[in-house]
């Protein structure tokens, strides 16, 4: 489970190094919008070399390539697949068909470089075009290499000519709340991670905490970050608290002691099967965090 996914521009060795050592579960090395057109070739080489330096085994490394229609993506993928990143972030994906096209490029390159077939994952930014919104439900049909779904509000806003995507209180406006919800359900329908979008206002850590807690409450399991300061808040929000763990253990014990019961009570509150499912989810999350970072 990737709780925090921190972007670092692919043409900055300093930021790639720093991002890898800050406690983020995933670092996304960027070849798209944070790299100027003239810098793309040098960035490809830097990202490849950086990955080959085997930066940090506790971190999953993804590379955000350029979009399918950019004319740049083949060169991006050819440069970085030999360095075997965990996965590729595909921006401006319109539908699972776009992922299939990218998966075919990767198939060929994995074979050419002796990598296990299907090893490199794809994480689409699945709401950055207007058309993409209507294909979110299709990700549930066994899309190869899919590891998660995330959403974006900046490019989508630009695509529809929106003058803003948040209101005066920094809350998402209606169109982006809709897209956020669709992404959440599409990811769960596809049994992959639901990853919340970036909060661009990276100095406001108090509001970040609120936003992360709301995202986790709703069923998101991680969030994109753009600044190192966001990582700690994000990791904490997407980890089970001691009280949650205690409660989850209590629910599981209760059902274990009453294997034939459908509904039980715990501390004067009804618990039934959905509570057991949720408790098991929380224990699984704690185990996955422990596996990544050693016993907490
Ligand atoms: N990864 C690694 N290090 C980062 C970082 C990032 N994403 N963002 C900032 N830092 C570093 C800075 O280099 C600086 O390091 P230093 O103290 O050793 O000099 C330190 O963290 C503090 O940075 P700060 O001065 O607060 O911000 P900044 O003005 O240097 O950078 C951004 C602001 C937005 C340019 C920067 O956060 C950034 O590049 N973010 C990622 C952008 C990106 O990849 N976008 C694509 C996805 S939307
Ligand atoms: Mg973008």
Nearest atom within ligand 1 for CA of residue 7: 44
Residue 56: its pLDDT value, please?
A: 87
Nearest atom within ligand 1 for CA of residue 28: 44
Every domain of the chain and the residues it spans: 4-237, 242-293
The answer on pLDDT for 296 being more than 70 is: no
Residue 292: its pLDDT value, please?
A: 86
Nearest atom within ligand 1 for CA of residue 33: 46
Please tell me the distance between residue 17's alpha carbon and the centre of ligand 2 in angstroms.
22
Per DSSP, the three-state class of 280 is: helix
Residue 54: its pLDDT value, please?
A: 81
Percent of the chain with pLDDT over 70: 99
Nearest atom within ligand 1 for CA of residue 198: 48
The answer on pLDDT for 295 being more than 90 is: no
pLDDT digits 0-9 by tens, 6-20 = 999 999 999 999 999
Please tell me the distance between residue 155's alpha carbon and the centre of ligand 2 in angstroms.
5
The answer on pLDDT for 283 being more than 50 is: yes
Ligand nearest to the CA of 24: 1
Residue 64: its pLDDT value, please?
A: 98
Please tell me the distance between residue 41's alpha carbon and the centre of ligand 1 in angstroms.
21
Nearest CA owner, ligand 1 atom 41: 226
Of 80, 152, 93, 149, the C-alpha closest to 120 is 80
Ligand 1 pocket (Cβ < 6 Å) reads 6-9, 14-15, 18-19, 30, 33-34, 198, 226-228
Nearest CA owner, ligand 1 atom 47: 7
Ligand nearest to the CA of 202: 1
Please tell me the distance between residue 89's alpha carbon and the centre of ligand 2 in angstroms.
11
Nearest CA owner, ligand 1 atom 28: 227
pLDDT digits 0-9 by tens, 37-68 = 999 999 999 999 999 998 789 999 999 999 99
The answer on pLDDT for 174 being more than 70 is: yes
pLDDT digits 0-9 by tens, 181-196 = 999 999 999 999 999 9
Residue 293: its pLDDT value, please?
A: 77
pLDDT band at 210 (very low <50, low <70, confident <90, very high): very high
pLDDT digits 0-9 by tens, 97-156 = 999 999 999 999 999 999 999 999 999 999 999 999 999 999 999 999 999 999 999 999
Residues constituting the chain = 296
Residue 182: its pLDDT value, please?
A: 98
Domain 4-237 belongs in CATH node 3.20.20.60: yes
Ligand nearest to the CA of 13: 1
The answer on pLDDT for 294 being more than 80 is: no
């Amino acid at each position: 489970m990737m709780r925090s996914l921190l972007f670092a521009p692919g043409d900055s060795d300093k930021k790639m190094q720093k991002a890898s050592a800050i406690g983020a579960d995933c670092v996304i090395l960027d070849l798209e919008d944070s790299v100027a057109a003239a810098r793309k070739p040098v960035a490809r080489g830097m990202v490849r070399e950086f990955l080959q330096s085997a930066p940090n085994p506790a971190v999953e490394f993804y590379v955000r390539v350029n979009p399918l229609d950019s004319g740049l993506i083949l060169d991006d993928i050819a440069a970085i697949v030999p360095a075997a990143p965990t996965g590729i972030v595909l921006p401006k994906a319109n539908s699972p068909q776009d992922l299939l096209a990218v998966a075919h490029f990767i198939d060929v390159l994995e074979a050419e470089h002796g990598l296990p077939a299907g090893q490199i994952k794809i994480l689409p930014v699945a709401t950055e075009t207007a058309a993409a919104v209507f294909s979110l439900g299709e990700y549930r049909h066994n899309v190869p290499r899919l590891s998660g779904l995330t959403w974006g509000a900046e490019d989508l806003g630009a695509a529809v000519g929106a003058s803003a995507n948040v209101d005066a209180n920094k809350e998402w406006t209606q169109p982006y709340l809709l897209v956020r919800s669709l992404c959440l359900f599409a990811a769960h329908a596809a049994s992959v991670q639901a990853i919340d979008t970036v909060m661009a206002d990276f100095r406001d850590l108090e509001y970040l905490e609120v936003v992360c807690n709301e995202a986790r409450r709703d069923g998101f399991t991680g969030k994109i970050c753009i600044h190192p300061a966001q990582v700690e808040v994000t990791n904490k929000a997407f980890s089970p608290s001691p009280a949650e763990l205690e409660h989850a253990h209590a629910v599981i014990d209760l059902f274990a002691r009453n294997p034939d019961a459908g509904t039980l009570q715990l501390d004067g509150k009804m618990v039934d099967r959905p509570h057991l499912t949720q408790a098991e989810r929380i224990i699984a999350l704690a185990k996955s965090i422990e596996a990544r970072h050693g016993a907490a």
